[in-house]
Amino acid sequence: MRNPCQVPLVTSVADLDDRLSQTGYLTDEGLATVAFLALAMHRPLLLEGEPGTGKTALAEGLSEALDLPLIRLQCHDGIDASQALYDWDFARQILHLRTVEATRRDGDADVVGVEKSLFDERFLLARPILRALRESPVVLLIDEIDRADDEFEAFLLEVLSTFAVTIPEYGTVTAVTPPIVVLTSNRTREVHDALKRRCLYHWIEHPALSREIEIVRRRLPDVPPVLAQQVARATSRLRARDDLVKPPGVAETLDWARAMQALGNAELDLESAAATLGAVLKYREDADRVRAALDKILAG
Amino acid sequence: MSTTASVHEVDEILAAFAAAVRAAGVPVTMDRTAMFLRGCAIAGAGDQSAVYWTGRATLCGSLEDFDRYDSVFDAWFSGSELTSRTPRDSLQRTAQADLGDADGDPGNQEEPTWVRASASSAEVLRHRDIAVMSPGERAELAKLFAGLRFVPPLRTSRRRRGFRTGDIDARSTLRDQLRRGGEPARLRFRRRTTRPRRVVVLIDVSGSMGPYADSLLRWAHVIMTASPQRTEVFTVGTRLTRITAALRMRDGQNALEAAGHAVPDWSGGTRLGEAMQAFIDRHGQRGLARGAVVVILSDGWERGDCALLGEQMRRLHRLAHKVVWVNPHQGKLGYAPVQAGIVAALPSVDSFLAGHSMATFERALKVVADA
């Protein structure tokens, strides 16, 4: 069994880079350095970048590379502490209370004991953040923090500063080892400065062509090398166009390669590319524009 | 030299670098500096590339800070090569989007003469065309702007709160019951709350809008003051500039000056279509315009491709809750919306309003508040 108090020791930036690349997640120097610092300094890592550049995938990669469980909290509008932190299982508490009432003999009411048993661990519903604090070392992914509102951010700030949570009826839960926290944001809203100051900040860029080919080959080892290269090249050409509503990210490159493979195509030609364009381009305007110039994009 | 002394020295150099980054305009706080020093000690203060990435992750808080950080870094540690650096072109685009060369000034159209109404001087001022006012009258107007009140439009939130009626709140009912020893008591209810809806203001700062620029900024500042967390302001001209941070200052005059410094393209040309595209691509689509009330303050003189403007306006209309267009010429004598730009945009606009005098600005605020 893994020692529950130990995050696997990562000795250097190169070491982390190495471990991540073994899981199929390829970083660049900047990202590897920042991720290493996040581990070494016990600081949350705030990742921003275009959709599909691998922000969420980094958390998954870290969890795999360090052999730690991944706990994910997807933020949404109106998320609050009872969805992120903990809740009491009221229905079961009442059932418990009724049972105590029915089985007790008159005159031996142990008020303190009953009260204590009511707020027992087994009635506590641990939501992602509480689970992360209790089960740490883990990787805690707080995805799309920009979708949550300001109140939630303030609450998060408190948890991320102390890695502890106080439940009035129960007590304080403190993480023995601080969890590795990755926050992602699509910048639909500027994250509050106070929260940013707690975090290490990194902006993830689209990868260079050679790295993208490498990513496809690592993530999808069954895709023929020629196809991997063609798909990566075509996507990076699409990305270079400035008339697309939504330029494709790495996630779309991988989807495209998977789609081609699923159809049993070994090479990306005009016909198969047109048929699978929906895997890369998600807007009608984009598809129309690209379809007209598909031969140029595939050429070379 | 002893080890501690040399460590101390390295820290001093790094701290001085952090101070230089702050001097360049990046909001570097003490705790950020401390985090930077600690990070460098871990990543290796001798490794220039490690220092670069550590500094970027600890001293910078957003994409917009990277350019300033880079130039300070280059100046501070120049002389030796940095190996892997991210290409900067895509980063610059986000902060200030260059929309190509400035076109000629389209500000030579005829200004229709304004018939002065005879009433009290404040009332006259309220209805006067701002473009033909004297500096004294404008100063007077600034006071009127400060008196404007704005109630932000509301949207239904996903959050619920206890209320007399609504859905049954099981959590609260059961907790209440628990408090009474499990005796069923009265039901508790909750309902959805409301939150201010986001308002996005796009101000045209091209030459033809020059006389109104000051007032339009003040108008946006009124909205900003009422709902600082849910308002975004951009200027469009030859560039798209986000001036939200500048306008957050409470004092109108200070906010205006800060915005003035932030905008590099006063009184240039406009390519509205390209500017709208830049706005939607970089901000709107990601969520800034989703469900928001988008207000465009422009005369609609399009020097670029009107088909592009039409297409972008349709996109915007699909994203936004309401699109409001405030035009300084609308409502003036003899004006008809026949310019190609306006014609292309109008089908995607929910309200087309006048905006040349205090009274019309008041009305526009009301329309936005009720959106």
Residue A71, beta-bridge partner list: A140
ipTM passes above 0.90: no
Listed residue (A271, A23, A231, A38) closest to A140, CA to CA: A38
* pLDDT tens digits for range A239-264: 888 778 788 999 999 999 999 999 98
Residue B144 reports pLDDT greater than 70: yes
Point out the residue among A30, A189, A201 whose CB comes nearest to the CB of B86.
Answer: A30
Residue type, A299: A
| Model confidence band, residue B240 (pLDDT cutoffs 50, 70, 90) | confident
Point out the residue among A41, A98, A205 whose CB comes nearest to the CB of B39.
Answer: A41
Looking at every residue in chain B, the average pLDDT score rounds to 79
| Model confidence band, residue B122 (pLDDT cutoffs 50, 70, 90) | low
Distance in Å, alpha carbon of A99 to nearest chain B alpha carbon? 11
Average pLDDT over residues A34-46: 94
Residue A93 and residue B178: Cβ atoms within 8 Å?
yes
Residue B337: exposure state from Cβ atoms within 10 A (0-12, 13-18, ≥19):
middle
How many whole angstroms separate alpha carbon A194 and alpha carbon A185? Answer: 15
Give the rounded percent of residues in chain A with a pLDDT score beyond 70: 96
How many separate helices (H) and strands (E) can be counted in chain B? 15, 10
Point out the residue among A90, A186, A187 whose CB comes nearest to the CB of B174.
Answer: A90
Residue A212 reports pLDDT greater than 70: yes
Q: Which is higher by pLDDT, B184 or B98?
A: B184
pLDDT value of position B157: 79
| Chain A neighbors of B315, CB-CB under 8 A | 245
How many whole angstroms separate alpha carbon B73 and alpha carbon B21? Answer: 8
- Given CB atoms, is B48 within the 8 Å cutoff of chain A? no
Residue A196 and residue B35: Cβ atoms within 8 Å?
no
For tokens 């209320």, what's the residue? Answer: B163
Question: Is pTM, for the whole model, over 0.80?
Answer: no
Q: How many Cβ atoms are within 10 Å of A271's Cβ, its own excluded?
A: 10
Going by their DSSP bridges, the two strands B322-327 and B231-236 should be labelled as unpaired
Residue B53 and residue A29: Cβ atoms within 8 Å?
yes
- Given CB atoms, is B82 within the 8 Å cutoff of chain A? no
> Assign residue A49 a region: left if phi > 0, alpha if psi is -120 to 50, beta otherwise?
left
Q: Which is higher by pLDDT, B338 or B257?
A: B257
- Given CB atoms, is B90 within the 8 Å cutoff of chain A? yes
How many whole angstroms separate alpha carbon A231 and alpha carbon A228? Answer: 5
Listed residue (B225, B203, B201, B218) closest to B150, CA to CA: B225
| Chain A neighbors of B66, CB-CB under 8 A | 203
